[in-house]
Amino acid sequence: MAGRTIYLDNNATTPVASEVLEAMMPYFKGEFFNPGSTYDQARGPRDAVETARERVARMLGCGSKSEVIFTASATEGNNAAIWGTLRANAERRHVVTTAVEHPAVLEVAREAARTGWRVTFLPVDSAGRLDAAALVRAIEKDTAIVSVMYANNETGVVFPVEDLARLVKEVDPAVVFHTDATQVAGKLPIDLSGRLRGVDILTLSGHKLHAPKGVGAMFVRRGTRWRPWVIGGHQERGRRAGTENVPYAVGLGRACELATTHLLEAVRLRRVQQRLERDVLARIPFSRVNGQGAERLPNTTSFAFDYVEGEAILFSLNERGICASSGSACTSGSLDPSHVLKAMGVPFTAAHGSLRISTSAYTADADVDALLESLPGIIEGLRRGSPYWDVARNAPKEGADVFVAGKYREK
Amino acid sequence: MPWDYSDKVRQLFMDAVAGKAGTHMGEIPDADGVGRHGSIACGDAMEFMFRVEKDADDPHRDRIVESRYRTFGCTSAIASSEALCRLLEERRLTPVEALAIKNADIVDYLDGLPPQKLHCSVMGAEALQAAVVDWARRRGVPSADLGIDPALLEEDEGRIVCRCFNLTEPYIRRKIKELGLSTIDDVTAAIKAGGACTACHHEPGGIQDLLDETWGGRPEPAPARPAAEAQKKAHRTPYQLAKEIERVLEQVVRPRLAADGGDLEIVDIRDRKVFCRLQGVCAGCAGARQTLRFVVEDALREAVDPEITVIEV
pLDDT one-digit tens code per residue, B132-141? 999 999 999 9
Query: Are A312 and B130 inside 8 Å of each other by CB?
Result: no
User: CA–CA separation, A268 vs A275, rounded Å?
Assistant: 11
Amino acid identity for residue A26 in this structure: P
The verdict on ipTM greater than 0.95 is: no
| Same domain (yes/no): B186, B114 | no
pTM (two decimals) = 0.74
- pLDDT given at position B219: 47
- pLDDT given at position A276: 98
Estimate to the nearest angstrom the gap between the alpha carbon of B92 and the chain centroid: 30
| Same domain (yes/no): B191, B64 | no
Average pLDDT over residues A32-53: 97
Average pLDDT over residues B281-289: 50
Within-domain flag for B222: no
| Same domain (yes/no): B179, B268 | no
Within-domain flag for B1: no
Closest by CA position to A380, among listed A294, A284, A280, A297 = A284
Domain annotation for chain A: domains and CATH numbers: 6-13+264-388 (3.90.1150.10), 18-262 (3.40.640.10)
Closest residue of B to A113, CA-based?
B303
Q: Which of A239-243, A386-390, B171-175 tops mean pLDDT?
A: A239-243
| Same domain (yes/no): B183, B115 | no
- pLDDT given at position A411: 29
Ranges A189-203, A305-319, B171-185: which has the least confidence: B171-185
Interface of B with A in 69-88 (CB under 8 A): 69-75, 77-78
- pLDDT given at position A2: 47
Query: Are B133 and A408 inside 8 Å of each other by CB?
Result: yes
- Number of structural domains found in chain B: 3
Within-domain flag for B2: no
Closest by CA position to A400, among listed A319, A324, A338, A307 = A307
Average pLDDT over residues B40-48: 82
Q: Does the pLDDT of residue A221 top 90, yes or no?
A: yes
Q: Does the pLDDT of residue B150 top 80, yes or no?
A: no
Closest residue of B to A331, CA-based?
B1
Number of residues that make up chain B: 313
Query: Are A408 and B153 inside 8 Å of each other by CB?
Result: yes
- pLDDT given at position B229: 52
Q: Can you name the residues that pair with A301 across neighbouring β-strands?
A: A357
| Same domain (yes/no): B19, B127 | yes
Res. B239 pLDDT band, cuts 50 70 90: confident
Res. B290 pLDDT band, cuts 50 70 90: low
Q: What is the CATH number of the domain that holds B235?
A: 3.30.300.130
Average pLDDT over residues A349-369: 93
- Distances in Å between the Cα of A210 and the Cα atoms of A23, A298, B132, B244 are 13, 17, 56, 45
- Distances in Å between the Cα of A325 and the Cα atoms of A12, A303, A353, A354, B16 are 8, 11, 11, 8, 22
Within-domain flag for B190: yes
- Are A203 and A149 within 8 A, CB to CB? no
Closest residue of B to A381, CA-based?
B17
Within-domain flag for B220: no
Within-domain flag for B221: no
**What tens digit of pLDDT does each residue of A297-323 get?**
999 999 999 989 999 999 999 999 999
**Is A13 in the B-facing interface, judged by CB distances under 8 Å?**
no
User: CA–CA separation, B23 vs B79, rounded Å?
Assistant: 10
Average pLDDT over residues A148-152: 98
* Chain A hits for B24, Cβ within 8 Å: none
Estimate to the nearest angstrom the gap between the alpha carbon of B120 and the chain centroid: 11
Interface of A with B in 42-101 (CB under 8 A): 99
Secondary structure of residue A138 in the 3-state scheme: helix
| Same domain (yes/no): B33, B125 | yes
Secondary structure of residue B271 in the 3-state scheme: coil
| Same domain (yes/no): B125, B41 | yes
Kindly state the greatest CA–CA separation across chain B. 78
- pLDDT given at position B283: 47
Q: Does the pLDDT of residue A403 top 50, yes or no?
A: no
Res. B202 pLDDT band, cuts 50 70 90: confident
**Is A407 in the B-facing interface, judged by CB distances under 8 Å?**
yes
- Are B72 and A307 within 8 A, CB to CB? yes
**Is A126 in the B-facing interface, judged by CB distances under 8 Å?**
no
| Same domain (yes/no): B108, B200 | no
Q: Is B200 known to be catalytic?
A: no
User: CA–CA separation, A355 vs A357, rounded Å?
Assistant: 7
Q: Does the pLDDT of residue A355 top 90, yes or no?
A: yes
Q: Which residue segment(s) compose the domain that B192 sits in?
A: 151-215
- pLDDT given at position B169: 87
- pLDDT given at position A3: 74
Res. B81 pLDDT band, cuts 50 70 90: very high
